Amino acid sequence: MGATVTDQTEQPRIYVACLAAYNYGILHGAWIDADQEPWALWDEVAAMLRASPLADAGEWAIHDYEGFGGTRIDEDESLD
C-alpha cells in the first residue's frame, strides 16, 4: 500500500488516514493542505482522528498525496 504520485493540483496536499478505522475496513481520513506550518498539520491530523468512527483513534498514515512534483512521500513521513 504505497502512496500514489499525482500532480492534479499545484497546491501540495496529503491524504491522512486513521489507521484504526483502516484496520477495520473503514475509510476515514482527510485531505490536508501541506503548505502550512508543522503544528497546523498536526492540528488537522488530530481533528481527523477525533472525528474517527472508532474511539481513541491515535495512529495515522499518509495514504495519498499530490502537488509535490517528483518528490515521493512515504506513508510514515514526518509532518515536520
pLDDT (tens digit, 9 = 90+) per residue, 9-45?
589 999 999 999 999 999 999 999 999 999 999 999 9
As a whole number, mean pLDDT of residues 39-66 equals 97
In a domain, 62, yes or no: yes
2 pLDDT higher than 70:
no
* pTM, full prediction: 0.85
- Give the pLDDT of residue 37: 97
In a domain, 53, yes or no: yes
Query: How many structural domains are present in the chain?
Result: 1
On whether the CB atoms of residues 59 and 22 are closer than 8 A, the answer is: no
62 pLDDT higher than 70:
yes
What CA–CA distance (Å, rounded) separates 58 from 53?
A: 12
Domain with 24 in it: what CATH number? 3.10.20
Grid cell of 51 as nine digits: 472525528
Helix/strand/coil (H, E, C) string of the chain? CCCCEECCCCCCEEEEEEHHHHHCCCCCEEEEECCCCHHHHHHHHHHHHHCCCCCCCCCEEEEEEECCCCCCCCCCCCCC
Q: Which domain holds residue 14?
A: 5-66
